[in-house]
A = this chain, B = another copy of it.
Amino acid sequence: MSRPHTRSLVSLALAAAALLAGAPLPAAEHPIVIVIHGGAGVIERAHMTAEREASYRAGLGAALDAGFAVLERGGSSLDAVAAAVRTREDDPQFNAGRGAVLNHDGICELDAAIMDGTGPRAGAVAGVHHVKNPIELARLVMDKSPHVLLAGQGAEEFALSQGVTLVPESYFITPERVRELEEAKRTAAESAPTTPLPLRPRGMGTVGAVALDAQGHLAAATSTGGITNKLYGRIGDTPVIGAGTYASESCAVSGTGQGEFFMRQVVAYDICAMMQYQHLPLARAVDLMIHDKLRRTGGEGGVIALDRDGNFAMDFNSAGMHRGVRNSAGRREIAMYRDAN
């Protein structure tokens, strides 16, 4: 019962400080930080138009600022990561919610997870077809059910029981994703029939966020449509606690890339484990995971990660990764390519 009370006092104090200073909020006892990603993959200048790049940057900026605004008014890291993910579930250019990639049968099957490093507590959904904001349903699973992961029709039954309005499958489908599926199927058909479905699509637009709030609490959230042309029923790393999403009291991670590799190597938790057990700094643990352990198995992708002191990492072994960071020290950066731009 004491946390909401404490939070509102801190919030009041922060607001008062802002009024007095007439300036960006001063660093609280804990720095506040949000880090986001919007997918890793073949993101290169050669494949990008100026309009498209500007549009991606605007989408990333809107998510970053939505999440940071929550932290700035004393809100929780959990609310901040949910806000930063939700804006991009509604933005058709990212592979989550509306505009998600299509499975082999031409529909969107959506996965999402959210985790509160305090507890820890976690909620996730997999394979939902009719939920506008899967990240909000993941939050309901955490807050209102005894379970961590609900999938498919059962997850949608639970959504209905919680008063969530379902939307038709057509809401999610965009012409660009239809074209991408056709292209993926053509490529698959041209390969030998025994070749597994291609798991290395041109761009992977999974969205994620990690945040540290003024109370020093960490949270992580991730949402995705998975991988174009995936088999019906495929669950990737995003909703798997430990693989694509993890938060503890000392570390929060959200991943993007070839989900199957993240699952076999328990990527998000492994970063936290290396920090806790080997006392590695965050950046070193992330570097080892992405450029050594994941690369060694042939896995491609990246992660964003954050520790309780506000140190963060945005690292990837793919050509690029949509990413951004904003913190109470006045830093605000958005980048897409290898070269920090």
Q: Report which A residues bind B (CB closer than 8 A).
A: 109, 119-122, 126-127, 145-158, 196-197, 199, 230-236, 240-243, 246, 259-260, 263-266, 269-270, 273-274, 277-278, 297
User: Most chain-B CB neighbours within 10 Å: which of A157, A158, A196, A243?
Assistant: A243
Question: Would you give 7 A-B contacts (Cβ < 8 Å), ordered by A?
Answer: A149-B236, A151-B234, A157-B233, A240-B240, A246-B266, A266-B266, A274-B277
Question: For A242, what are the chain B residues with a Cβ–Cβ distance below 8 Å?
Answer: 240, 242-243, 263, 266, 269
Contact A152/B150 with A240-B242, A263-B122, A264-B119 known, Cβ cut-off 8 Å: no
Question: For A152, what are the chain B residues with a Cβ–Cβ distance below 8 Å?
Answer: 127, 151-153, 233
Would you list the 6 A-B pairs with minimal beta carbon distance, nearest first?
A154-B233, A154-B232, A146-B196, A277-B277, A242-B266, A273-B273
Question: For A109, what are the chain B residues with a Cβ–Cβ distance below 8 Å?
Answer: 154
Complex formed: what's the CA distance from A231 to B196 in Å? 33
Question: For A270, what are the chain B residues with a Cβ–Cβ distance below 8 Å?
Answer: 269, 273
Contact A233/B277 with A242-B240, A264-B122 known, Cβ cut-off 8 Å: no
Q: Is chain A's binding surface mostly helix, strand, loop or mixed?
A: mixed
Complex formed: what's the CA distance from A147 to B240 in Å? 14
The reply to whether A234 and B154 contact each other, CB–CB distance below 8 Å, is yes
Contact A158/B231 with A197-B146, A260-B147, A266-B241 known, Cβ cut-off 8 Å: yes
Contact of A147 among B147, B231, B278 (CB under 8 A): B231
Question: For A231, what are the chain B residues with a Cβ–Cβ distance below 8 Å?
Answer: 145, 147, 150, 154, 157-158
User: Most chain-B CB neighbours within 10 Å: which of A149, A230, A243?
Assistant: A149
Contact A235/B151 with A196-B145, A263-B241 known, Cβ cut-off 8 Å: yes
Question: For A146, what are the chain B residues with a Cβ–Cβ distance below 8 Å?
Answer: 196-197, 199, 260
User: Most chain-B CB neighbours within 10 Å: which of A120, A236, A240, A269?
Assistant: A240
The reply to whether B269 and A233 contact each other, CB–CB distance below 8 Å, is no
Question: For A263, what are the chain B residues with a Cβ–Cβ distance below 8 Å?
Answer: 122, 148-149, 241-242
Complex formed: what's the CA distance from A242 to B145 in Å? 22
Shortest beta-carbon distance from A63 to chain B in Å: 26
The reply to whether B158 and A233 contact each other, CB–CB distance below 8 Å, is yes
Contact of A233 among B150, B260, B274 (CB under 8 A): B150
Shortest beta-carbon distance from A100 to chain B in Å: 16
Contact A126/B147 with A241-B240, A242-B240 known, Cβ cut-off 8 Å: no
